[in-house]
Amino acid sequence: MRACRQTGEDPPQVPNKLRRHGKRVTAFGLSSAVTLFDWAGRLLRAGQDKQNWLYTKYGCQACHAPDKKVVGPSYKDVAAKYAKDSGAPAKLEKVVKSGGSGVWGPIPMPPNNVPDADLKTLIEWILAQK
């Protein structure tokens, strides 16, 4: 064993079995924490990536943007308008599927062919915009 740099004394003797075990526990604990945070970050990014992918897949970006009016309203404006409406998801699903007009101005929204599971994900994402 090496002597301490500052004092020149030998370090206290700890049985090898305990020293190795302590290193393993510390390394395992640090590794587990890093892995946990890594997976949490991946899950968050995966959720965001799926919503962005659906937004692009179904052409929503042609008329909408999360934070500004394009042809239709921004998703932040939609979320603000329906914030206190518990029936908003059903209303918005109907408008996306069937189309609609008059709520946001004279330009009508055409009907969109979006599967129910994807539509539910998109509507949840739209209503979560702040």
CATH of the domain at 93: 1.10.760.10
What is the total count of domains within the chain?
Answer: 2
Across the chain, mean pLDDT equals 77
**Does 5 map to a domain?**
no
* pLDDT tens per residue across span 58-81: 999 999 999 999 999 999 999 999
The tens digit of pLDDT for each residue in 4-46 reads 566 666 666 655 554 444 554 444 455 555 555 554 454 445 4
pTM exceeding the 0.85 threshold for the entire prediction: no
> How many Å apart are CA 4 and CA 2, to the nearest integer?
7
Q: Which domain holds residue 38?
A: 13-57
Answer for the pair 76, 66: CB distance below 8 angstroms, yes or no.
yes
pLDDT of 44 reads: 46
Q: How far apart are CA 59 and CA 14, in angstroms?
A: 66
Q: CA torsion sign, 66 to 122 to 60 to 77?
A: negative
**Same-domain pairing of 48 and 104:** no
Q: What is the pLDDT of residue 80?
A: 96
